[in-house]
Amino acid sequence: ICMINEIAKEYIALIPNLFGSFKELNKGAVHLSHMQNHVIEYIFMQQRPLNLKEISAGLGIAKQQLTNIISDLETGGYLNKVPDTKDKRAVLISLTPAGKEIEEKKWAELYQKLSMNVTKLSEEEQRDLSFALHKVNVLLRKMEE
């Protein structure tokens, strides 16, 4: 139980550190609303067209709320909607070249900022961070199995 408490304490401490770091790296990278950015990012990460139900489930957002966001992103030229050949009632939503470009640019800027931050660490600290992040990712995935 003592080890579980220690793990819980460190995990909870990691969350604001990680989100704070990510928020700082991501600052000014996207000129969309928070929710619009989430939708584009989710579709980008899935690397395939998705229907509204998949996006809704993946982001934990009600389909009714998503409809306006998707519509605004389509109007803005970031998303395409095409009929789903497998389900005639559904449409598949994918990124346009402009939608892909905004995400690729954002991630390139984030990588550049992160790289600058990492250079503040010694070579040994960089190796420690790399190992620690790898290990955390491996163990978190294992816990989800």
pLDDT tens figures, 112-133: 988 999 999 999 999 999 999 9
Residue 29's pLDDT is 63
Burial (CB count within 10 angstroms: exposed 0-12, middle 13-18, buried 19+), residue 95: buried
The CATH number of domain 32-95 is 2.60.120.560: no
DSSP assignments along the chain, one per residue: -HHHHHHHHHHHHHHHHHHHHHHHHHTTS--S-HHHHHHHHHHHHHTS-EEHHHHHHHHT--HHHHHHHHHHHHHTTSEEEEE-SS-TT-EEEEE-HHHHHHHHHHHHHHHHHHHHHHTTS-HHHHHHHHHHHHHHHHHHHHHH-
Of 70, 59, 118, give the one whose Cα is nearest residue 93. Answer: 70
| Residue extents of the structural domains in the chain | 1-30+97-145, 32-95
pLDDT in tens, the chain (145 residues): 678 888 888 888 888 888 777 777 777 666 788 889 889 999 999 999 999 999 999 999 999 999 999 999 999 999 999 998 888 888 999 999 999 999 999 889 888 988 999 999 999 999 999 999 999 989 989 988 8
Distance, in Å, from the CA atom of 24 to the CA atom of 37, rounded to the nearest integer, reads 16
Residue 23's pLDDT is 76
β-bridge partners, 83? 91
Q: pTM of this prediction?
A: 0.74
